[in-house]
Chain A
């Protein structure tokens, strides 16, 4: 009885140490990776309500069109018009839900279209210092032709 208790205790302790080490290894690597990405990023200047977001890469599948319109300071109906979908009934749907509903055969279409529209309507950049000037051949991509939405 005592022996089996000892074996169980020992297995439990060894199990704890092994599981602890595995979790440390897994999350340690993730922490280092996340720290590398995080490092060097300073908090952006406070959102004063006048300055629009300009980083198009921050647009995600879970965002709604009104959220994107406000964050990037776009006219309220511009995204709906571009996507050829009615605003009514779609205000609370995420980009992914809109894609599943209107472009079921082309995953990612709505996200790409929204990014293209936002990119095309970004405010002109403020004068950059000479050493960071954007090369002349870096053209802003034109709007992608909109595929026909499923009614």
Chain B
């Protein structure tokens, strides 16, 4: 898939690149970060105009994110019907809302595998669209400048950067999942401990 898309980006340039990033932001499994690094390299080699790449890439990603936020927003009623009574859902929602800005910003460029789920959760929570858009735009701008810039810097050797970044992104995802597991586990142990103490004092 990556190879086919790389050929087409060489052939059709920035508009196609923007479209791919748009579709990736909607949740289609496309290698957006790899293509962004490659596009940076192509613009260094003079095949693509770096301004067009940056503008189309940024707009495509932000529009895609806005639509997936909208999908989360319109699925809210269904989610609420199913989970509204659950204390875990309430807790998760409050935790997310208190850190939503940072979560949206960081998932744009650091833990990109969580970007689409974050958009859906943000849309389904009480976060205002304007707030989401500000953090989303900042995050996507960082992503375009950082990844595209690395591609531009390394030119024909962009594959080295891309291998490292995609593996590192996976490593970060693993650390986040482990971190959430450990956090929930610690919380559960504490709750169990408190309940046991209460039972002992009642007895």
Question: Which A residues are within 8 Å of any B CB, using their own CB?
Answer: 9-10, 12-17, 19-28, 30-31, 33-35, 37-38, 41, 43-44, 46-47, 49, 53, 55, 58, 60-64, 67, 70-71, 92-94, 96-97
In the complex, whether B77 has a CB less than 8 A from a CB of chain A is: no
Question: Which B residues are within 8 Å of any A CB, using their own CB?
Answer: 2-4, 6-7, 10-11, 44-47, 153-157, 159-161, 163-164, 167-171, 173-182, 184-185, 188
CB neighbours (8 Å) of A19 from chain B are 177, 181
Q: What is the minimal beta-carbon distance from A13 to any residue of chain B, in angstroms?
A: 5
CB neighbours (8 Å) of B11 from chain A are 64, 92
Which one of B3, B156, B169, B181 lies within 8 Å of A44 (CB-CB)?
A: B156
Residue of B nearest to A26 (CB): B170
Residue of A nearest to B174 (CB): A23
Q: What is the minimal beta-carbon distance from A98 to any residue of chain B, in angstroms?
A: 11
Within the assembled complex, what's the spacing in Å between the Cα atoms of A120 and B122? 56
| Number of CB contacts from chain A to chain B under 8 A | 127
Within the assembled complex, what's the spacing in Å between the Cα atoms of A123 and B163? 30
Taking chain A's interface residues, is the majority helix, strand, or loop, or is none over half, making it mixed?
helix
Do the beta carbons of B168 and A31 come within 8 Å of each other? yes
CB neighbours (8 Å) of B159 from chain A are 58
Within the assembled complex, what's the spacing in Å between the Cα atoms of A33 and B164? 8
